[in-house]
Amino acid sequence: MSQNKIVAHYLNGQLFKGVANDFFPNKELFHLAPMDAPPGSKLVELQITGLKALFFVKEYNGNPDYHETNEFDPSVPLVGRKIKVIFKDGELMVGTTNGYQPIRPGFFLIPADSKSNNERCYVITPATTEIMLI
């Protein structure tokens, strides 16, 4: 089973960083090995309830000096449909998706900015104020 380096961001501002290998969109919880925990440490159980999004990242801290754009690179072929998401906390994300349906509890988004630290993001639909296919 593949492991994913993630940042779990909750609506209340809590952040959990670590490796998860049992996240599935149709499950209500998953387990995280915290990034600083020694090998063999107990996993943290995280609930989907209250989650804003799961960010599948390249690096846990990213590059604080890099300012992500919401523009698509015209030289890179698009896969999926363009989408704009505004979260309840005001954060805006633009990218592409293959699986957005309003009735689903969430969907994957690949950021428009190929240099983003986020490789992809699992957006929790109830954590948003606006979702627009563009």
What are the tens digits of pLDDT across the range 13-62? Answer: 999 999 998 999 999 999 999 998 888 889 999 999 999 999 999 999 88
What are the pLDDT digits (tens) for 8-21? 999 999 999 999 98
pLDDT in tens, 73-106: 898 889 999 999 999 999 999 999 998 999 999 9
**Banded pLDDT at 63 (limits 50, 70, 90):** confident
Q: What are the domain boundaries of the chain?
A: 4-61+69-133
pLDDT at res. 112: 96
End-to-end CA distance of the chain: 34
Strand (E) positions, the chain? 4-10, 15-20, 29-34, 44-47, 51-57, 81-87, 92-97, 106-111, 118-124, 128-133
